[in-house]
Chains A and B, each alone.
Chain A
Amino acid sequence: MQIYIHIPFCEKKCNYCDFLSGPADASVREMYVNALIKEIRGRAANVGRHDRVSTIYFGGGTPSVLSAKQLGDLIFTIGQEYSVESDAEITIEVNPKSADRDKLYFLRANGFNRLSIGMQSSHRGELELLGRIHTYEDFLTCYGNARDTGFSNISVDIMTAVPGQTEQMLASTVDKVIALDPEHISTYSLTIERGTPFYERFGDIEGPVIGEEAERRLYWMTVDKLKDRGYRHYEISNFAKPGYESRHNSGYWKRKDYLGMGLGASSCTVTPGGDERSRNVTDLKTYLENPLAREESNVLSRNDMIEETMYLGLRMMEGVDTDDFEKKFGVTVRSLYGDVIDDLVAQGLIYEGSSSLSLTDLGIDYGNHVFAKFLW
C-alpha cells in the first residue's frame, strides 16, 4: 500500500496552479495538521496490520510551508499507525524558498529520503511569469542544502512550453539541472487550467499557448538531452537514473492501491467488489470538522479497471505488461482490443512486443488520442 498526504497550503498560489491549495495563516495550518492526524489515526483502523506501506508522499500545495515539528508529527503518526516498510520511499515536495537547511536536516533525520524540488526554470523572467516566489539562486541554495543534509534521491521539476520560452531558454534550464546531476527529473508542459490567473490571461485555448508544434519540439528536445545524459525516459513526463524511478508515482500507473489523506485527497482501495476510488471532502471547514468524510466514492467495474490499466500503463515507456494483464483479468489484451491495437500499430502509434504494449514516439505526441481508443 502507498500513502499520500495532501498539504493544501502554499505561500502564494502560482499563476498556472489549479491544485487544491492556497495561503493560510498559522492557526489554520495548526488546525489542519490536527485534523490530518485524526484522519491518519482514523483510517488506520481499516487497514490490516499485514498491509505494509511501501511509499509515502507528501504533496501539495507546498508541504514545506508546514513547520518541521508539524511535518515530524505527521510522519511520526504514520509510523505509529501503519506498518511502514524499512526501505519505504518517503518523498516530500518542497519549494526552494520554504525549505531551509534546518528543516531539510530535520526531515532527513525523521525518515524522509526523497525530495521533489519545484525549480521550474532557471530564468528570472519565466519564474516571474509563472508567479513563483523563488529565484534560480534560491533553488541552487536549496539543492546544495539538500545534498549536504544527506538527501541522495532528489527530483527536480522543470516547466516547459511556458509562453515566450525559446528552445535556447529551455535548453539552458535543462543543461543547468543536468549539471547538478539529480537522480530524477520531471518536465511538465504548461497547460492552462480553468480558474487560474493564466486562464484569465490566455483565455480558453485548445492546447498549449505556444502552439502544438512548438510544444512538441521543446518536449523532444528535452527528452533527447536527458537521454543523452543517462536518464531513462520512463514515463511521459518523467526521467530518472536507473533505479531512481519514483516508486510512489509508478504505483499510480501500475494501479497499486493507495490511501490519500488530507483535504480533497484521492484514494484507491481494494474492495471485494472491485477497486474503489474515493475522494475526501474538498471544503476545508467540513474537513476540519470531520476529517474522515468523503465526498465521492465509486467502486470500479471490471471494465473501468481494464480501461485504467490500459491508459495508465501506456503512460510508462515500458508500457502495459500484457502477461500481467491476462493474469489479472483472465483474458488477453488482444481479445478485448485486437482491432484497436491493429489500427494503432498500423498508424505507428503503438508498439506491440511479445508481452507488452507501449507508445511509440509518435504515439506519445498523440497520447490522448491513443488513450481514448482504449475506452469503451
Chain B
Amino acid sequence: MDQDHIRNFCIIAHIDHGKSTLADRIIEKTGLLTSREMQEQVLDNMDLERERGITIKSQAVRTIYKAKDGQEYTFNLIDTPGHVDFNYEVSRSLAACDGAILVVDAAQGIEAQTLANVYLALDHDLDVFPVINKIDLPSAQPDRVINEIEDVIGIEAQDAPRISAKLGIGIEDVLEAVVKKVPPPDGDSQRPLKALIFDSIYDAYKGVIVFFRMMDGKVKRGTKVRMMATGATAEVVEVGTFGAGQFIPCDELSAGMVGYLTASIKNVRDTMVGDTITEDDRPCESALPGYKKVQSMVFCGMYPADGAKYPDLRDALEKLQLNDASLNYEPETSVALGFGFRCGFLGLLHLEIVQERLEREYNLDLVTTAPSVVYKVYRTNGEVTDLTNPTNLPDPSEIDHMEEPIVSAEIMVTKDFVGPIMELCQSRRGRYLSMEYIEETRALLKYELPLNEIIYDFFDALKSRSRGYASFDYDLKGYEVSNLIKLDILVNHEEVDALSFIVHADSAYERGRKMCEKLKEEIPRHLFEIPIQAAVGGRIIARETVKAVRKDVLAKCYGGDITRKKKLLEKQKEGKKRMRQIGSVEIPQKAFMSVLKLDSE
C-alpha cells in the first residue's frame, strides 16, 4: 500500500459528544462491515466499556474508503481512552496519528476535555479539524459552536462538517475531510525499524499482541525485534492489520502503517505503551520521545470477602495484569480483613474498573478499602519512603515531615456556577491560579489541588454543584509539603485498620465526624449498642452510636393484621448487605469505601 493513501487519525471529544457513534458510522460507511454485522459500538468491545459508555483500552481499526476522487484510501482509526486516568495512554495513541477529528456537540459546545484533548493533539503536531455533531438536537446551535471553536481553540471551523452521527447525517463529508485534511504519514521504509507501541493485549494462544504505528522501516514474520525501553527481544511470529473486531494477518508492515505483531511474548510488561520497537540487529538511532514508565496514582487494599478465596484473588490479579500493565499489586495483611493485596491504579476509574472486572469476570466477592494517594514520608533519620497504605505510617516521632501529590486542574464552567465551584475548590484546599472567560458565559478556572482531595468524590461534587455543566481535567504537578495526619476509626472500641485514612490536619475533625456519621448509617443495628469513634493519635475526636435493636415483637397478628403488619416489618428490614465480621460487629463490605462518600450531600 502506497504511503500517500494512508490516513492515520483519531477522534477526540468530550465525553458523550458522540465519539463512539461517529466511529461506528465511519466503519459502517467505509463498507468494511454490513449494517447487519455492526454491533452497536464496534470499537468498544468490552461489556464493561459499553455499560459505562467509556472507551477504556486503545484500539484501532483499519477500513478502506473509496473517495470522491475515485481512489482508495486506507483509514487507520485509532481509538483513545476518554478519561483523565488514562492521559498517558491518550498521548501515546495521539502520537501514533497524523490527524484528529475533533467532535464537538452542537448543543453543548466546547468542554474541558475538548480543550485538554485538542491541546494534547496539537502538542503532538496533529492536524485537527472539527466536526459539529448532534445537529439534529432541537437545542443545537452549530453557528455559535463554530465561532466558539475559532475563538477559543483558534482553528479554522467555518467549513466543519455539520453532522448527526446518530442519524448518519453528513458522514460522507467527514470521510472526505479525513482524506483532505489529515496528512499522509511520512517516514521511510528503507530506514531501520522504528515503531511506536500504543497498546498491547494478552491472548492465551498468541501471547502478547502488540499494537503499534510504523514510523520507519519494515517488520515481518521472523524479524527479531527489540523493545528499546524494556530491552525485551523476540522473534516476530505474525504481523497484520485490524479488521473491525478481528485481526487480519499480512506479510509485512512498512512505514506509515498501523498494525499488530505477535512474538510469543509472555508479559505485557515487556511491551509498555509508548515504547519503541526496533530491529535487534539493525536498531534505529534513538527511541521515539515521550515514553514514560506508568506510575500508580491511587492505591487501595483488596481483600476476598471469604478469606479462603485469597489464592483465587491472587490468580485473578495475575491474569488481569497480563492485560493491564498499569495495574500493580503486592500482598498485604490487615488485622481486620486478613490476607489481601495493596493494589495500585492510574486513578479512581481504573480502580473501579479493575474491581468490577474482578467481581464480574472472576466471580470474586471483594472488600475494598478506601483509596489513598502516594504520600512521601521524610523520616527524622533522613530516609524517604512512599506511603501507599495509611496503616504503615510510622510513629509520628519518626516523621520529620510529609509531602502529598498536587495536580494542576482546569475546570470549565458556565458563569452562574463559578461561585459554587470556587467554593468547592477552596474547601478542597485548592490554590487559585487564574480564571479566564473563554466566551461571555463560560470561564476556565485553573487551580492547584491536592490529589487526595479530588480522587474521592470531587467529580461528583463538581457535577452536583454545577448541575452537570462543569467539566474537569487534571495533570500531576508534583509533591508539596503538607500537614498530614492519620485518622483512625474504632468500632465498638476496636481500631479497624482497614478504615484508617490520611487526612490534612485542618480537615481531620470534620472528616472524622462525617466518617462516624456515615458508618452509623452503614452499620446495621445489632443486639447491642455500638460506639463508632474517630481518633487521631489515640485521642477521640468524634463519636456516633449505632443504637441496639429494639426489643419488640408484634403482640397480635390475626387475619386482618397480616397485610398491615407486613408493611410495618418492611420498614424495619435492612437491605441484604454483604457483611464482614470485625470482632463482634458486622460491617457491610461497602462501608470500607465510606470515606469516598463523605461529601456527597
Given the interface pairs A252-B562, A366-B549, the reply to whether A188 lies near B556 with Cβ below 8 Å is: yes
Do the beta carbons of B552 and A252 come within 8 Å of each other? no
Residue B144 lies at the interface, judged by CB distance under 8 Å to chain A: no
* Given A189-B555, A373-B573: A207 in contact with B560 (beta carbons within 8 A): no
Q: Please provide the chain B residues from 554 to 601 with a CB less than 8 Å away from any CB of chain A in the complex.
A: 554-560, 562-563, 566, 568-570, 572-574, 576
Complex contacts, B554 vs chain A, CB 8 Å: 236, 315, 367-368, 371
Q: What are the residues of chain B within 8 A of A369 when measuring CB–CB?
A: 525, 549-550, 552, 572
Given contacts A236-B553, A367-B554, contact A266 B559 (CB under 8 A): yes
Q: Is the Cβ of A312 less than 8 Å from the Cβ of B560? A: no
Write the nearest CB–CB distance from A100 to chain B, whole angstroms.
Answer: 27
Cβ of B553 and Cβ of A312 under 8 Å apart? no
Is B152 interfacial (CB 8 A cutoff)? no
Q: Is A375 an interface residue (CB 8 A)?
A: yes
Q: Does B467 contact A (CB under 8 A)?
A: no
Query: A145 at the A/B interface (Cβ < 8 Å)?
Result: no
Residue ID in chain A nearest B579 by CB atoms: A343
Partner of A298, one of B551, B553, B559, B563: B563
Instruction: Chain A residues near B553: list those with CB within 8 A.
Output: 236, 364-368
Q: How many residues of chain A have a CB within 8 Å of chain B?
A: 42
Interface residues of A in 252-266 (CB under 8 A from B): 252-253, 258, 260, 264-266
Q: Which of A277-333 contact B (CB under 8 A)?
A: 277, 279, 298, 307-308, 311-312, 315
Q: Which residues of B contact A376 (CB under 8 A)?
A: 576
B560 touches A260 (CB 8 A): yes
Complex contacts, B573 vs chain A, CB 8 Å:
372-373, 375
Distance between A200 CB and nearest chain B CB, rounded to angstroms: 21
Q: Which residue of chain B is the closest to A300 with respect to CB atoms? A: B563
Q: How long is the Cα–Cα vector from A148 to B542 in the complex, in angstroms? A: 69
Check A247 for interface membership: any CB of B closer than 8 A: no
Check B435 for interface membership: any CB of A closer than 8 A.
no
**A-side interface mostly:** mixed
- Taking a contact as CB atoms under 8 Å apart, the answer to whether A237 and B556 are in contact is yes
The answer on a CB contact under 8 Å between A372 and B559 is: no
Which listed residue, A188, A207, A279, A375, touches B552 by the CB 8 Å rule? A207
B558 near A249: Cβ-Cβ < 8 Å:
yes
B232 sits at the interface (CB 8 A) = no
Chain A CB within 10 Å, residue with most, of B558, B559, B574:
B559
Most buried by A among B554, B555, B556: B555
CB-based nearest B residue for A208: B552
Q: Is A347 an interface residue (CB 8 A)?
A: yes
Residues of B within 8 A of A268 (CB): 559, 562
Tell whether, in the assembled complex, residue A212 and residue B569 are in contact, meaning their CB atoms are under 8 Å apart: no
Check A212 against B562 for contact (C-beta < 8 Å): no
Q: Tell me the bound Cα distance from A127 to B556 in angstroms.
A: 20
A375–B570 CB distance below 8 A: yes
CB distance from B588 to the nearest CB of A (A): 13
Contact of B569 among A267, A347, A366, A371 (CB under 8 A): A371
Q: Most chain-A Cβ atoms within 10 A of its Cβ — which of B551, B556, B572, B573?
A: B551
Interface pairs (20), CB distance under 8 Å: A188-B556, A206-B550, A207-B550, A215-B551, A237-B556, A249-B558, A252-B562, A277-B562, A307-B566, A311-B569, A312-B562, A315-B557, A364-B553, A366-B551, A368-B550, A368-B553, A368-B572, A369-B525, A369-B550, A372-B574
Q: List the 8 closest pairs (A to B, CB-CB), nearest first.
A: A367-B553, A372-B573, A266-B560, A365-B551, A372-B572, A189-B555, A368-B552, A188-B555
Interface residues of A (CB under 8 A from B): 4, 188-189, 191, 206-207, 212-213, 215-216, 236-237, 249, 252-253, 258, 260, 264-268, 277, 279, 298, 307-308, 311-312, 315, 347, 364-369, 371-373, 375-376
